[in-house]
Amino acid sequence: MSADAPEYDVLIAGAGLVGLALAPALARAGLKVALADRGSVSAPEPLAEPQWDTRVYAVSPGSAAFLADIGAWQGLPPERVAAIETMHVVGDDGAVLDFSAYEISERALAWIVEERALRAALVALTQTAGVTTLAPRTFESMAWSAEGGSLRFGDGTSASARLVVAADGVHSWLRERAGITAVPKPYGQTAIVANFACERAHHGRAYQWFRRDGGILAWLPLPGRRMSIVWSASDDEAPKLLALAPAELATRVADAGGNVLGTIECITPAAAFPLQFLKLPRVVAHRLALVGDAAHGVHPLAGQGVNLGFGDAEALSTVLRERGPVADTGAPLLLERYARRRALPVAAMQTVTDGLAHLFRIDTRWARSARNLGMAAVDALPPVRRLLAQSALR
295-341 residue pLDDT tens = 999 998 877 889 999 999 999 999 999 999 999 999 999 999 999 99
Walk me through the domains of the chain, giving residue ranges and CATH numbers: 7-358 (3.50.50.60)
Alpha-carbon span 263 to 278, nearest angstrom: 38
Alpha-carbon span 388 to 152, nearest angstrom: 45
What's the pLDDT at 128?
95
Task: Tell me the average pLDDT across 370-387.
Answer: 84
pTM: 0.94
181-239 residue pLDDT tens = 888 999 999 999 999 999 999 999 999 999 999 999 999 999 999 999 999 999 999 99
157-169 residue pLDDT tens = 999 999 999 999 9
What's the pLDDT at 1?
46
What's the pLDDT at 393?
66
Query: Could you give the angle at the alpha carbon of 292 between the alpha carbons of 346 and 324, nearest 5°?
Result: 80
- How are beta strands 7-13 and 33-36 bridged, if at all? parallel
- Amino acid identity at 271: A
Between these two residues, 366 and 142, which has the higher pLDDT value? 142
